[in-house]
Chain A
Amino acid sequence: MRPSHKSATLLVLIPLILLAPVFFPSSFYYRVGALIFINGLAVTGMVILIGYAGQISLGHAGFAGIGAYSCALMPVHWGIPPVLAAVFGAVISALLAWLVGRPILRLKGYYLAVATLGFGILVYMVLTNETWLTGGPDGMNVADSGLRDLAKSLGINMKNSEFWYWLCAIVMVAGVWLAMNLQDSPTGRALRAVHGSEVAARTVGVDVARYKLQAFVISAVYASVAGSMVALQNEFVTPDVSGYMHSIEWVTMTVLGGAGSVLGAIFGAAILTLLPQVLTAFAEYEQLLLGLIMMLVMIFMPDGLLPSIMRRIRGKDE
């Protein structure tokens, strides 16, 4: 009897997070680690959307933009503390996702992809053009979140990069834990039924449109929180956080590692976050490689890298 899916995922994930810093020669590695966790959080949301519900979004960076700029704008204009602003940003993202998703998710197939593609571009356009509010393409500063001072007052004194490594790790693990619980809940089972066959799910009484909408809204919240984390960590945001390529990267990470499992997707996030750091000399070829990876994975390993490797290890009994 294998351990349950949920505990297995956390059993793999948490020791890796704890042990990795042993091998970190400089604070730069903590920063890359934090970035992996932030992407990991966003792709956990994508797993709920792609892996559980079988839908796809090409504009999730739009929600990240909303989360990031909430942290930047709300403290300045309304005096809301940045961390609370992140929560409000997540609420706004959820509402927007609900508004955009409701008419679209009644339909099948390509419509969500196209509508989210347009949505992401629209958010990027607003953030870039409304210079008076957002500072335009140059970006804007984000107020200090005060989280590190809070940790200090509790007696935890860490370098900035280390602090964010651990904080991002905690947020990601919390996100993963919630996603795993969702998978085992009636909603999760309904979503998997929808993924298997919408018609079959409907005939057994699953409200297909409602569950797809739920998955979309939840994944939007994940993306929004990821965006907020970027803003809070860097204390600076640019419209790039909502860029089209960012949305595509998240989709690629998810399907590369394996959209069917959270662990696989985080594995994909780790690979694709590390790759540009390793291949800085090939920056020019980044898009080329990304596109190639997307096509090759979908053609040769439609389940993703991690499930394919696991099958190899276990033999072909599954």
Chain B
Amino acid sequence: MSELLQFLFSGLTVGAVYALVALGFTIIYNASDVVNFAQGEFVMLGGMLTVFTYAAGLPLPLAALIAVLVTAGVGVALNKLAIEPARGAPVVSLIIITIGASIFLRGGAQVLFGKQIHRFPSFSGDTPFRIGGATILPQSLWVFAGGIAIFIGLYLFFTRTLTGKAVLATSNNRLAAQLVGINTNWVMTLSFALSAGIGALAGVLITPITNTSYDVGIALALKGFAAAMLGGMGNPKGALAGGLLLGVIEAMTAGYLSSQYKDAAAFIVILLVLFIMPQGLFGAKQTERV
């Protein structure tokens, strides 16, 4: 029983990160119909930049803040330099552009930061708490708290602020949003900044537990995408549920089946979702306009 609880804790911790990656996918997908394959690289950048600004002597919170802001800037640059110029391009071209961005960022990180594994210390020590025979790291609680704060913050942003409502309007119908005077280009930029920032924050929160290196992005992107699809593409609640569920599935796979193949769980989930319920847990059936 305590074993199950232990797997559950670790599953929920990584699941929270998957949920944040899935949320990043969702925000950009809603605003622009682009699936951003570089989403995992935002997580990598968040962790990496914190490692190096912290090593340069900055206090950890400031290092983390800089990492999140710089990554958000990278997100904006990606939108302005690569996505906006290709407006109206077919899906395949957009996939290649974001994959290109992902390889570019990965290659850049390899040149700048090297191929080693990097880490920085936990926010509040490494003494685990004991709950019901299982242990949980203080950093896991930071991950949960961070994840919850982001989801609540975004909920308030989208429902209570005019800007948030403009983003929702744009994702609903870009043309209609333009007609009522919303600057949809600005909304796109904001979405990329937001999504990159959230990814970076996820990287900052999880790096003390999992460590980071230049090539962690692809696996995270794949899992975030699996989580988003499991929950229902384009639905923030689905991203949360899908992320946590995927994290738990993975932890159970690692615990009870094979730790080598825990990464395969995400792929199996993708295939099962596509076979059985392509619209995901929370997604609505969509009809496409021609």
Measured CB to CB, the residues of A under 8 A from B are 50, 54-56, 58, 100, 103-104, 107-111, 113-115, 117-119, 121-122, 125, 129, 199, 244-245, 248, 251-252, 255, 284-295, 298-299, 302
Contacts and interface: CB of A to CB of B under 8 A. Distances in A.
A56 B91 CA distance: 9
A286 B271 contact: no
B89 A129 contact: no
A290 B7 CA distance: 39
A302 to B, nearest CB: 6
Contacts of A245: 103
A160 B184 CA distance: 61
Contacts of A115: 267, 270-271, 274
Nearest to A107: B278
B51 to A, nearest CB: 20
A291 B92 contact: no
B96 A255 contact: yes
Contacts, number: 126
B100 A294 contact: yes
A199 B91 contact: no
Contacts of A302: 86, 89, 93
Contacts of A58: 95, 99
B111 A298 contact: no
A57 to B, nearest CB: 10
A295 B100 contact: yes
A199 B290 contact: yes
A89 to B, nearest CB: 21
A110 B33 CA distance: 10
Interface of A is mostly: helix
B35 interface: yes
Interface stretch (B162-170, B193-201, B218-226): B218-226
Contacts of A293: 100
B66 interface: no
B266 interface: yes
Contacts of B209: none
B103 A287 contact: yes
Contact of B107 (A56, A114, A291, A299): A291
A194 B103 CA distance: 29
Interface in B99-113: 99-108, 110-111
B106 A287 contact: yes
13 contacts: A56-B96, A58-B99, A109-B35, A110-B35, A113-B95, A115-B274, A248-B99, A252-B100, A284-B110, A285-B107, A285-B111, A294-B97, A294-B104
A116 B217 CA distance: 17
Interface of B: 35, 37, 82, 85-86, 89-93, 95-97, 99-108, 110-111, 218-219, 222, 225-226, 229, 260-261, 263-264, 266-267, 270-271, 274-275, 278, 288, 290
Contact of A298 (B86, B106, B226, B274): B86
Contacts of B86: 298-299, 302
Given A50-B92, A298-B97, A118 B266 contact: yes
A135 to B, nearest CB: 16
A121 B267 contact: yes
Given A121-B267, A295-B104, 7 more contacts: A58-B95, A252-B96, A285-B107, A287-B106, A287-B110, A288-B110, A302-B89
A293 B107 CA distance: 12
Contact of A286 (B101, B107, B264): B107
Contacts of A107: 274, 278
B63 to A, nearest CB: 25
Contact of B82 (A248, A251, A284, A295): A295
Contacts of A288: 103-104, 107-108, 110-111
B96 A119 contact: no
Contact of A248 (B103, B105, B264): B103
Nearest to A55: B92
B219 A121 contact: yes
A100 B102 CA distance: 25
B274 to A, nearest CB: 5
Contacts of A284: 110-111
B222 A110 contact: no
B25 to A, nearest CB: 10
A290 B103 contact: yes
Given A117-B222, A288-B108, A298 B93 contact: yes
A125 B261 contact: yes
A103 B273 CA distance: 10
B92 A299 contact: no
A111 B274 contact: yes
A298 B96 contact: yes
A114 B222 contact: yes
**Across the A-B interface, the 10 shortest Cβ-Cβ residue pairs:** A291-B104, A294-B100, A287-B107, A288-B107, A118-B267, A291-B103, A295-B100, A110-B35, A109-B91, A291-B100
A129 to B, nearest CB: 5
Contacts of A244: 218
B263 A125 contact: yes
A289 B100 contact: no
A103 B267 CA distance: 14
